[in-house]
Chain A
């Protein structure tokens, strides 16, 4: 995709992650307890996602959209966007995890579970915000609109994820609940993809 040509924005987002975590590290002083760590991790994840994914539609110029319009059909286009943002968010997720562990320590007792959960969460976040960026790009004041549209939609998922990641902090759940929530999140992601593919063609024609 064309995003490869805009590498400055990619490095910009990485720098954004690094400086956010550095600020957290400085302001928190000597480490946070696991609940705070968890909350901060997900908030960082959310803002990184908004910054990384929002760019995908908002930066496109009119002319380029017209060019895409003439060469691909909307379903393919939005699938490509979703996939690209998935990969992008997975990379950001990794950076976020590494930096968090480096600066703020690693309070998780089940690290692999937490890594898995964070990738699951990053996936959901990037899918939702891709679709919202597509919607917001049609209106004025796109960047602020993105936050207004996105936050109420993302709260339930974020609540589920924060709850789920306590599993990695050795909180005991009832049998089967963890699997249930994971399946639920996957189903939600699938629903987002299906909805995006169905609804995007309506946004597309201008």
Chain B
């Protein structure tokens, strides 16, 4: 019970996010209106994704230092969760964009071309592609130790290449997406005080949920690979 306090915190925070996020008052901006409530879901997906990918890379580094296969399993499971969060972030982003960016007078495919050029979308597409490539790389090597080593190297290398570009490119290319000058919504002035009451707990809640899901997957993978792990 004592060790599961963060799971309880996670449930409480998420219940609060959903109830509070849908019911508490929000400022009515001309363009956004009530869609601003998506902030509690969409932005949090990205935050959680970044966190989870970072944890994955830390595990890869630890693997290379200790050569412990458990670390490798953790790295790949965290990456999996990150990809799921990335896809969810896309899904919530699509819903949001279809109400705010898309021109209702045009057919959907006409807006598609201009939305796809969004630098933030490109950045995330690259992140997802990199992690898909990571899984392809993993599946193409049969030897366990070699797989762990090579994919850890790729994970670190890719992460180090990806994140500078995610931070830099949006500042060079024009964009509709908010947050041109920095991290969207993290800036205190961007978000109304009433919304911050829900927004910060929501980030923590979703991130905890991501960690929880991953820890279950990791334990499952440990059980599956028991014979391998005990041999070491």
Chain A: residues with CB nearer than 8 A to chain B?
128, 131, 135, 138-141, 145, 148-149, 151-153, 155-157, 159-160, 163, 177, 181, 184, 188, 191-192, 195, 199, 202-203, 206
Contacts A128-B161, A199-B156, A202-B153; A152 near B140 (Cβ below 8 A): no
CB distance from B148 to the nearest CB of A (A): 10
Contacts A157-B165, A202-B149; A135 near B172 (Cβ below 8 A): no
Report whether A145 and B140 are in contact in the complex, using a CB–CB cutoff of 8 Å: yes
Contacts A153-B161, A157-B165; A141 near B140 (Cβ below 8 A): yes
Give Cα distance in the complex from A191 to B172, angstroms: 21
Report whether B130 and A152 are in contact in the complex, using a CB–CB cutoff of 8 Å: yes
Report whether A160 and B172 are in contact in the complex, using a CB–CB cutoff of 8 Å: yes
Contacts A138-B146, A139-B137, A160-B169; A195 near B157 (Cβ below 8 A): yes
Q: Which of B118-158 contact A (CB under 8 A)?
A: 122-123, 126-127, 129-130, 132-133, 136-137, 140-141, 146, 149-150, 152-154, 156-158
**Residue B91, interface by CB 8 Å:** no
Which chain A residues lie closer than 8 Å to B129 at the CB level? Answer: 151-152
**Residue B162, interface by CB 8 Å:** yes
Give Cα distance in the complex from A152 to B166, angstroms: 12
Report whether B153 and A152 are in contact in the complex, using a CB–CB cutoff of 8 Å: no
* In the complex, number of A-B residue pairs with CB atoms less than 8 Å apart: 87
Report whether A149 and B137 are in contact in the complex, using a CB–CB cutoff of 8 Å: yes
Task: Kindly report which residue of chain A lies nearest to residue B150, judged by CB atoms.
Answer: A138
Report whether B169 and A139 are in contact in the complex, using a CB–CB cutoff of 8 Å: no
Which chain B residues lie closer than 8 Å to A163 at the CB level? Answer: 172-173
**Residue B115, interface by CB 8 Å:** no
Report whether B146 and A153 are in contact in the complex, using a CB–CB cutoff of 8 Å: no
**Residue B9, interface by CB 8 Å:** no
Which chain B residues lie closer than 8 Å to A153 at the CB level? Answer: 126, 130, 157-158, 161-162
Give Cα distance in the complex from A177 to B168, angstroms: 12
Q: Other than the known A135-B154, A184-B168, what 7 A-B pairs have Cβ atoms closer than 8 Å? A: A140-B141, A152-B127, A152-B158, A155-B126, A191-B160, A195-B160, A202-B149
CB distance from A126 to the nearest CB of B (A): 15
Give Cα distance in the complex from A199 to B157, angstroms: 8
**Residue B50, interface by CB 8 Å:** no
- Interface SS majority for chain B: helix
Contacts A128-B161, A152-B130, A155-B126; A145 near B137 (Cβ below 8 A): yes
Q: What are 17 A-B contacts defined by CB distance under 8 Å?
A: A128-B161, A131-B157, A139-B137, A141-B140, A145-B136, A148-B133, A151-B129, A156-B162, A160-B169, A163-B172, A163-B173, A191-B160, A191-B161, A191-B164, A195-B157, A199-B153, A202-B153
Task: Kindly report which residue of chain A lies nearest to residue B158, judged by CB atoms.
Answer: A153
**Residue B64, interface by CB 8 Å:** yes
Task: Kindly report which residue of chain A lies nearest to residue B141, judged by CB atoms.
Answer: A139
Give Cα distance in the complex from A195 to B61, angstroms: 12
The 5 closest A-B pairs by CB, nearest first: A156-B165, A152-B129, A139-B140, A152-B130, A152-B126
CB distance from B150 to the nearest CB of A (A): 5
Which chain A residues lie closer than 8 Å to B164 at the CB level? Answer: 156, 188, 191
CB distance from A153 to the nearest CB of B (A): 5
Contacts A202-B149, A202-B153; A135 near B165 (Cβ below 8 A): no
Which chain A residues lie closer than 8 Å to B160 at the CB level? Answer: 191, 195
Report whether A139 and B150 are in contact in the complex, using a CB–CB cutoff of 8 Å: yes
Give Cα distance in the complex from A135 to B156, angstroms: 12
Give Cα distance in the complex from A191 to B158, angstroms: 12
Report whether B126 and A156 are in contact in the complex, using a CB–CB cutoff of 8 Å: yes
Give Cα distance in the complex from A151 to B158, angstroms: 11
CB distance from B86 to the nearest CB of A (A): 13
Specify which of B150, B162, B166, B168 is in contact with A135 (CB 8 Å cutoff).
B150
Which chain B residues lie closer than 8 Å to A128 at the CB level? Answer: 161
Which chain A residues lie closer than 8 Å to B123 at the CB level? Answer: 156
